[in-house]
Amino acid sequence: MIASIYDTKYLKGDIMGGLVAGVVALPLALAFGVQSGLGAIAGLYGAIGVGILAALFGGTPTQASGPTGPMTVVSAALVANAIEIAGSLQDAMGIIILSFLIGGALQVVFGLINIAGYIKYFPYPVISGFMSGVGLIIVILQIFPFVGLDSPKSTLKVIMDLPRLFADFSWQALALGVLTVIIYYLFPKVTKAVPSALVALITVSIFAYFIKWDVPIIGEIPSGLPSLRLEGLLNIESSSYFMVLEYGMVLAVLGSIDSLLTSVIADNMTKTKHNSNRELIGQGIGNMAAALIGGIPGAGATKGTVVNINSGGRTRLSGALHGAFLLAVLLGLSSLAAYIPLAVLAGILIPIGFKIIDKKGLKHLKIVPRADAAVLLVVLLWTTFGSLIQAVGIGVTLAALLFMKRASDIGEKGMQVGTLAGFGGEKPWQDETEFYQKFKDKIYIKHLYGPLFFGFTSHFQEQVKNIGEEIQVLVIRMDRVPYVDQSGIYAMENAILDLTLKGVKVIITGLQEQPKDLLTSIDIIPDLVPEEQVFEKVGKSFDWMTKTLSP
C-alpha cells in the first residue's frame, strides 16, 4: 500500500535534501521576517506554512518554497503602507493578513484558469528591471541595521537620512555586520557542505553573545505551535479595499513568476517536467495557510530547491521535510534565536540583495536595443524609488508600445513580418529539399519568421528543447528575422547553450544587420556559435555540413 503512494528508494535522499534545504532556509526566513516589518517569527511561520503545503500540493516535486527576496520586499511595502493608514501594526494586521490571503487565493485561481500559460510572456527587461530593483531595495534598507540603527521604511527616506548614519552608527554593530559578510563570502572557499549563511549566523551571534556588546537583537520570539491570526479581518475600512486587492494581485503575480522560474531550474536539474498550474495552486494554498498563522508569503526558493536536489531530494516529501525541520527549530530553538543581532541579519541580506540584481541584464545595457535598455532602467528606478506595483505595469505597457512601434516601422519599410510567432522547420523550404532529404535524420532546420521578441521566446525555447537525440546539427534560418529584442537574444543564447552541451552543432544562416550585430555583441558569435558556422546563405552551409556529418 505504502509502495503505491511513495517509492521508498527515494527516502534517504528526500530526508537529506529536506534537512539541508531547511538548514539553508533558516537564516533567510529569520532575516526576511525582520525585513518585512512583521518580525523574525513571521518569516519562520511563512517558511513553515508555504514550505510544507506548497510541497504537498504543488506541481514541482523537488521545489523548496519559502519567503524570498522579491516577495518580502512587496510584503514590507504593504506593511509600511498599512501602518501608515491604520496608525499601528496591531491595527494594520487585518489589512496585511487579508492582502496575503487574497494573494494566495489568486494564485489558486491562476492555476485553475491556466494563467501560467500567459505569465511566460512577460518581457525580459521588465523582469530584469524589477528583480534588480528588488535587490537594490534589500541592500538599501539594510544599510542602517548594518550599523545598529533603526531604518526608515522606504529607500528614498534612507537616502535622505544618510547624515544620521555617520553621526550615530555603532562600531560594534558595524564590526558584527562586516564579520558576517566576510564569513558569508569566504566560508564557501573552505567547504560548501555547510551553508555559509548559517555558519555566519551562528558564529557571529555566539561571538556577540559572549562579548556582551550592546547591539540591537531580534528579541523575544514566540515558542510553540502558531495559532490562527484572524484579528482585524472584519474591521477593515472600505477605503483600504483597493490597496488590499492591489497588493494581493502583485503578490500573486510575483509569487507565480518566482515559483515557475525556479520550477524550470528544477526541471533542468532533474530532467523532469513540472505541472505549472498545479504548482500555482500549491503555492496559493501555502500562502493562504501562512497568512492565517501570521506568516509572510513566499514562493519557490531557487537556492533551497537547488541544494535539495543536489542533496538527493527527488519527491515532494523532501520539500515537506524542509518545512517540518523549520517547525522543529521553532519548537525547540526559538528562545536562542532571540539573541541574534540585527546587524548579523543585515550582513546576510546585503549579499543576497546583490545576488538578486540581474548583473547580466545590466552588463548588456549598452548592447541590447535602446528601447529594451530604457524599459529596464525605468522599471529598475521605479521599483527602487517608487511603487513596485506601478513599476511592473509601466514596464509591461512600455514594452508593448515599443514593440508595436517596431512592428509598425518594419511594416512601413515593406519588410515581410508574416506571423509574429510563426515557427517552421518540419517542412523544408524549396532551396533545402535535396540536402534535407539526404540528411533528414541528422539535421533539424528551424525557420524563424518576423521579429524575435518577448512574446515568442518561450515557444522558441520549448521547440528547440524537444529536438531528438539523434540530431547532430541544428540549422537556424533567420532570413526573415529583421529584429531581435533582449528577451529574444537571451532565449537564443540559452537554447544554443543547451544544445551545445548535448553535443549538437548549431548553424545560423541569413542574419540581417540588427540580429547579427546583437549576436556578436553578446558574444553568442563566436563563443557559442563559431564564425565558421555562420553563413550568409543557407546553401553555403551545405558543404560544411556534408564534411561534418558522420556517415
Asked if the structure places residue 526 within a domain, the reply is yes
How many whole angstroms separate alpha carbon 497 and alpha carbon 390?
A: 35
Of 325, 344, 323, which is closest to residue 333 (Cα–Cα)?
325
Same-domain pairing of 337 and 444: no
For the segment 269-297, the average pLDDT, to the nearest whole number, is 94
pLDDT of residue 68: 94
pLDDT-derived band at 469 (thresholds 50, 70, 90) equals confident
Of 322, 216, 292, which is closest to residue 42 (Cα–Cα)?
292
For the four alpha carbons of 393, 399, 405 and 407, in that order, the dihedral sign comes to negative
Same-domain pairing of 323 and 440: no
Same-domain pairing of 291 and 246: yes
How many whole angstroms separate alpha carbon 71 and alpha carbon 476?
A: 38
Same-domain pairing of 255 and 310: yes
DSSP class of residue 477?
E
pTM of the complete model: 0.78
Select the more confidently predicted residue: 427 or 93.
93
pLDDT-derived band at 55 (thresholds 50, 70, 90) equals very high
Select the more confidently predicted residue: 418 or 501.
501
Give the dihedral of Cα atoms 244, 249, 250, 254; nearest 10 deg.
140
Last residue of one domain, picked from the residues 313, 328, 358: 358
Of 402, 380, 390, 410, which is closest to residue 481 (Cα–Cα)?
410
Same-domain pairing of 500 and 399: no
- What DSSP string runs through 288-333? HHHHHTTPPP-EE-HHHHHHHHHTT--SHHHHHHHHHHHHHHHHHH
For the segment 176-198, the average pLDDT, to the nearest whole number, is 91
Ranking 175-184, 288-297, 541-550 by mean pLDDT, the lowest is 541-550
Asked if the structure places residue 365 within a domain, the reply is no
For the segment 26-45, the average pLDDT, to the nearest whole number, is 94
Select the more confidently predicted residue: 405 or 269.
269
pLDDT of residue 324: 93
pLDDT of residue 427: 67
pLDDT-derived band at 349 (thresholds 50, 70, 90) equals very high
**How much of the chain, in percent, has pLDDT values that exceed 70?**
92
Burial class, 271, CB count within 10 angstroms (exposed 0-12 / middle 13-18 / buried 19+): exposed
Of 339, 336, 328, 359, which is closest to residue 25 (Cα–Cα)?
328
pLDDT of 373-425, one tens digit each? 998 999 999 999 988 778 878 887 887 777 666 665 554 443 333 333 333 34
| pLDDT at residue 248 tops 50 | yes
pLDDT-derived band at 3 (thresholds 50, 70, 90) equals low
Of 204, 74, 191, which is closest to residue 137 (Cα–Cα)?
74
pLDDT of residue 259: 93
pLDDT of residue 417: 32
Same-domain pairing of 79 and 199: yes
How many whole angstroms separate alpha carbon 531 and alpha carbon 108?
A: 48
Same-domain pairing of 334 and 236: yes
Asked if the structure places residue 1 within a domain, the reply is no
Of 20, 43, 19, 48, which is closest to residue 31 (Cα–Cα)?
43
Same-domain pairing of 376 and 348: no
pLDDT of residue 412: 44
The tally of domains found in the chain comes to 3
How many whole angstroms separate alpha carbon 149 and alpha carbon 169?
A: 7
Same-domain pairing of 347 and 383: no
Ranking 120-124, 210-214, 494-498, 541-545 by mean pLDDT, the lowest is 120-124
| pLDDT at residue 193 tops 70 | yes
**Residue 501 belongs to domain with CATH number:** 3.30.750.24
Same-domain pairing of 167 and 276: yes
C-alpha cell at 491: 532565449
Q: Which domain holds residue 489?
A: 430-548
| pLDDT at residue 286 tops 90 | yes
Q: Report the DSSP beta bridge partners of residue 65.
A: 300
How many whole angstroms separate alpha carbon 395 and alpha carbon 379?
A: 6
Q: Which residues, including other chains, have CB under 8 Å from residue 221's CB and lie 6 or more apart?
A: 39, 40, 41, 44, 334, 335, 337, 338
Same-domain pairing of 200 and 344: yes
For the segment 130-136, the average pLDDT, to the nearest whole number, is 90
Helical spans, DSSP H, in 212-310: 241-270, 276-292, 302-310
Of 492, 384, 487, which is closest to residue 129 (Cα–Cα)?
384
pLDDT of residue 472: 83
Last residue of one domain, picked from the residues 379, 412, 445: 412
For the segment 145-174, the average pLDDT, to the nearest whole number, is 91
pLDDT of residue 456: 63
Percent of the chain that is helix, strand, coil (3-state, to 5) = 70, 5, 25
pLDDT of 311-335, one tens digit each? 899 999 999 999 999 999 888 888 8
Same-domain pairing of 326 and 449: no
pLDDT-derived band at 154 (thresholds 50, 70, 90) equals confident
Average pLDDT, the chain: 86
For the segment 336-357, the average pLDDT, to the nearest whole number, is 91
Residue type, 471: I
Of 293, 276, 295, 288, which is closest to residue 252 (Cα–Cα)?
288
pLDDT of 477-488, one tens digit each? 888 888 888 888
